[in-house]
């Protein structure tokens, strides 16, 4: 939906399971209309699409792409952003570190993203700009790490920037790609990300820095920033000061608690599907939640866990949310950033503990989440 200041806001459809076009069409028919009716009954509703690799291949067929466009139009919606981070299966199976594969050193990640660019370009309304969020290069602890990894990533991202520049020159339509820093990834913190842009992406062989600055930026996920004990407002300010494009902001929250919380309170969040990195105020870090629950340190201070929890969830006793980091200063910095695309992104509803769901269905939860964010903008 278009906000009064011209920015676009939605929720990310990666909350709905499915890898193919038919799954996406089902979400548009079964879930999106209820959210639209609640949030934008009288105006078109913007969509944060998730197009998996299988769907991306299907959409190469013009008739299939036309079916999707017709379904979006029928729902009185429009597409403005795509979550291009998860490549394959994202629900109902073990995802864990596989979510980062293929990473940006791989031609498969490049080809997939080029497909997403074509599809978003075809779906984007006339006169609007589009964004795609993606893996922050790759997983920091991948077993096949090599010194040439950053060089390969940079070359592929430069190819994306070149395609996006040609597209804008030919059609006048601006699209940009946002690398999404995440705990335990090659780009994990804001400082690491800025360093990569200045030491590699802006200086790579045959890189046109002006084109890269216009078409490659960051997707700021406030859950990820909070897990790193970074202040989301300060994160946005740092990117602005570094003149790095903020392509999209994903408004989300992580699980927070004290280190001596009873282990049985954390156990339900170990869903076996997603990687739940743990960071502590004392500087301790664990690659997944079981590494903490099997060997906790009760003196580590505050824990922040990469488990997306609903923005509207107020917490429960010792269990809290990092939504408190979304301060008035954050909303002011968000406005100053001129970031065009805002997206609520909590994709974990099908694996959250029952007491966080309270028998609501996913459309109800997305309405509550979006209203929580909209009420504070």
Question: Residue 177: which CATH number?
Answer: 3.20.20.150
Q: Which of the residue ranges 26-30, 189-193, 319-323, 353-357 would you say has the lowest mean pLDDT?
A: 353-357
| Alpha-carbon gap, residue 217 to 170, rounded angstroms | 21
| Alpha-carbon gap, residue 181 to 239, rounded angstroms | 12
186 pLDDT exceeds 90?
yes
> Which pLDDT tens digit goes with each residue over 80-97?
999 999 999 898 899 899
Q: Is residue 248 part of a domain?
A: yes
Percent of the chain with pLDDT over 90: 91
Q: If you average pLDDT over every residue of the chain, what do you get?
A: 95
R_g (Cα) of the chain, nearest Å:
20
Q: Is residue 285 part of a domain?
A: no
The residues near 198 (Cβ < 8 Å, ≥ 6 apart) are 242
10 Å CB burial of residue 61 (0-12, 13-18, 19+) is exposed
Return the SS3 of 102.
coil
- How many structural domains is the chain composed of? 1
Q: Where are the alpha helices (DSSP H) in 267-361?
A: 289-293, 328-337, 354-357
For residue 50, what are the domain limits? Answer: 8-253+322-374
Q: Is residue 271 part of a domain?
A: no
Q: Is residue 307 part of a domain?
A: no
Cβ proximity of 135 and 109 under 8 Å: yes
Cβ proximity of 103 and 138 under 8 Å: yes
Q: Which residue from 352, 342, 363 is spatially nearest to 321, judged by alpha carbons?
A: 352
Cβ proximity of 293 and 267 under 8 Å: yes
Residues forming a β-bridge with 316: 319
Q: Is residue 304 part of a domain?
A: no
9 pLDDT exceeds 80?
yes
Kindly indicate the confidence band of residue 204, based on its pLDDT and cuts at 50, 70 and 90: confident
Kindly indicate the confidence band of residue 144, based on its pLDDT and cuts at 50, 70 and 90: confident
Cβ proximity of 132 and 177 under 8 Å: yes
> Which pLDDT tens digit goes with each residue over 23-81?
999 999 999 999 999 999 999 999 999 999 999 999 999 999 999 999 999 999 999 99
Its pTM stands at 0.97
Q: Which two tokens stand for residue 292?
A: 């903490």
Return the SS3 of 110.
helix
Q: Is residue 284 part of a domain?
A: no
Q: Is residue 305 part of a domain?
A: no
146 pLDDT exceeds 80?
no
Q: Is residue 332 part of a domain?
A: yes
């Amino acid at each position: 939906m278009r906000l009064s200041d011209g920015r676009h806001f939605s929720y990310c459809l990666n909350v709905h399971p499915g890898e193919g076009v038919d799954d996406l069409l089902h979400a548009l028919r079964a879930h999106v209309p209820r959210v639209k009716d609640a949030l934008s009954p009288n105006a078109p509703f913007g969509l944060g699409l998730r197009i998996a690799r299988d769907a991306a291949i299907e959409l190469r067929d013009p008739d299939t792409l036309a079916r999707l466009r017709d379904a979006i139009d029928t729902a009185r919606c429009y597409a403005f952003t795509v979550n291009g981070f998860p490549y394959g299966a994202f629900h109902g199976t073990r995802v864990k570190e596989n979510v980062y594969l293929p990473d940006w050193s791989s031609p498969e990640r490049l080809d997939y993203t080029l497909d997403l660019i074509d599809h978003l370009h075809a779906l984007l309304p006339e006169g609007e700009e589009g964004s795609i969020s993606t893996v922050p290069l790759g997983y920091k602890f991948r077993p096949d790490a090599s010194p040439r990894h950053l060089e390969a990533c940079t070359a592929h991202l430069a190819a994306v920037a070149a395609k996006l520049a040609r597209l804008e020159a030919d059609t006048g339509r601006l699209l940009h790609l946002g690398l999404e820093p995440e705990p335990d990834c090659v780009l994990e913190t804001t400082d690491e990300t800025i360093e990569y842009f200045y030491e590699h992406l802006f200086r790579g062989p045959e890189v046109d820095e002006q084109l890269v600055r216009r078409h490659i930026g960051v997707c700021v996920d406030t859950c990820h920033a909070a897990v790193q004990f970074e202040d989301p407002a300060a994160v946005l300010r740092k990117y602005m000061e570094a003149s790095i494009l903020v392509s999209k902001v994903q408004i989300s929250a992580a699980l927070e608690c004290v280190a001596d919380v009873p282990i049985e309170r954390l156990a339900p969040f170990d869903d076996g599907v997603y990687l739940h990195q743990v960071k502590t105020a004392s500087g301790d870090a664990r690659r997944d939640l079981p590494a903490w629950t099997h060997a906790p340190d009760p003196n580590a201070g505050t824990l922040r866990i990469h488990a997306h929890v609903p923005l509207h969830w107020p917490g429960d006793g010792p269990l809290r949310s990092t939504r408190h980091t979304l301060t008035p200063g954050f909303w002011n910095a968000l406005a100053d950033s001129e970031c065009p695309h805002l997206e609520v992104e909590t994709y974990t509803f099908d694996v959250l503990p029952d007491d966080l769901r309270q028998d609501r269905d996913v459309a109800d939860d997305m309405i509550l989440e979006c209203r929580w964010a909209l009420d504070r903008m």
